[in-house]
Amino acid sequence: MLARRRREYFWMMGGCLVLFVSAWGFVRLWSVPAAVAMCVVAMVIPPVAAMVANRRGPDDRWWDDPPPSSQLRSSRGDPQGDPKSDEWWDELDGKKKY
């Protein structure tokens, strides 16, 4: 999945470069408004390419997902971490009894 997303990202960024270079390399000689329009399209491509590259696939494990072999669960069904960290989060969530 990562290879597919990486390939899509590089195709989109390559298209962005082709649009930008061709707009000011030779399209501007015939039509400046067309060159500006091409640059506007090229300006929109990088954020879209970043979203495509960072999209989660159906088989990808994300950074905050517990590993599949992890069976540690609390009574609430949440994964347990460091006890000190759990106390800190409970205090922030207002679950700590004084």
Q: What is the mean pLDDT of each run of 10 residues along the chain (98 residues)?
A: 84 94 93 95 94 79 62 52 75 70
pLDDT value of position 4: 82
pLDDT value of position 19: 94
Alpha carbons 31 and 80: distance in angstroms, whole number: 62
Instruction: Count CA within 13 A, CB hemisphere, residue 41.
Output: 16
Query: What type of residue sits at position 25?
Result: G
pLDDT value of position 66: 63
77 DSSP 8-state letter? S
Neighbours of 89 (CB within 10 A): 14
pLDDT value of position 98: 57
Alpha carbons 5 and 23: distance in angstroms, whole number: 27
pLDDT value of position 29: 94
What's the count of helices (H) and strands (E) in the chain, helices before strands?
Answer: 3, 0
pLDDT value of position 63: 64
